[in-house]
Amino acid sequence: MPNAVPMQGARGLPQPQAMNPGLPSVGGLSAGQPLQLSLAPELQAAARSAHRHLLDDGTALYLLAFDTAQFDPGAFAAMAIARPDSIARSVRKRQAEFLFGRLAARLALQEVLGPAQAQADIAIGATRAPCWPAGSLGSISHCEDYAAAIAMAAGTRHGVGIDLERPITPAARAALLSIAIDADEAARLAKAADAQWPQDLLLTALFSAKESLFKAAYSAVGRYFDFSAARLCGIDLARQCLHLRLTETLCAQFVAGQVCEVGFARLPPDLVLTHYAW
């Protein structure tokens, strides 16, 4: 990461530089502000870039890019990020995405809880979901050598989910249509597609939107549910919002017929992001 400054003390939280006001908004997501992070030497070779984006409601989203080949597992201790046994036994890629995901979450939590409380560990829960510190809720997503996180104060929302995806390839389209998107949904996307959002990008966005909805709703639903539980019923390209109608009652807060609006956006260099909060 260019110009990264060695951190002062093992538990020092990376400090982002000041945001520039008035950033242009792109599809409900501000253009990313580059950050300079103060990192331990063990992490500097693997860290490629860091950006802070704003959702249309002002919530900050942190996106970190990293190089798995340069990742040093010693960065866990150097950055004072707990490494669960299941992660310690995993391959280098999984360890890298876990650490950078937790690092992105720390940055997001700093805005919600302050620097001291943002240092709290985010453990892996019984259902593999992150356990957020008291007073907060959030979501983490990984895609190849990228990790993103968002955090909110508890009480402002009940749940939030984000998801990062690479655009699907033509070769992967059939598999996606067989497991996550039905023919009617695909036809709606084909009709709505334009030069900025061609069909395969919209297919990616819809798949990702269902993932974000699942993450946000899981704490209330308490069980896994299928992609068919939410079907596309509308597309607003101007607002970059997908409307998903629930086909079944999942819990008291998510009932059949309810429409959930999931935001979507493109992130450079070639990522699709979706986000949903309720």
- Binding site residues for CoA, as ranges? 94, 102, 141-142, 163, 211, 215
Residue 86, amino acid: S
Residues annotated within a binding site for Mg(2+): 163, 165
CB 226 within 8 A of CB 240: no
Residues annotated within a binding site: 94, 102, 141-142, 163, 165, 211, 215
Calculate the alpha carbon distances from 229 to 116, 176, 226, 256 in Å.
Answer: 40, 16, 6, 9
Cα(164)–Cα(259) distance, integer angstroms: 22
Q: Which structure tokens are listed for 246?
A: 């629930």
Cα(263)–Cα(278) distance, integer angstroms: 12
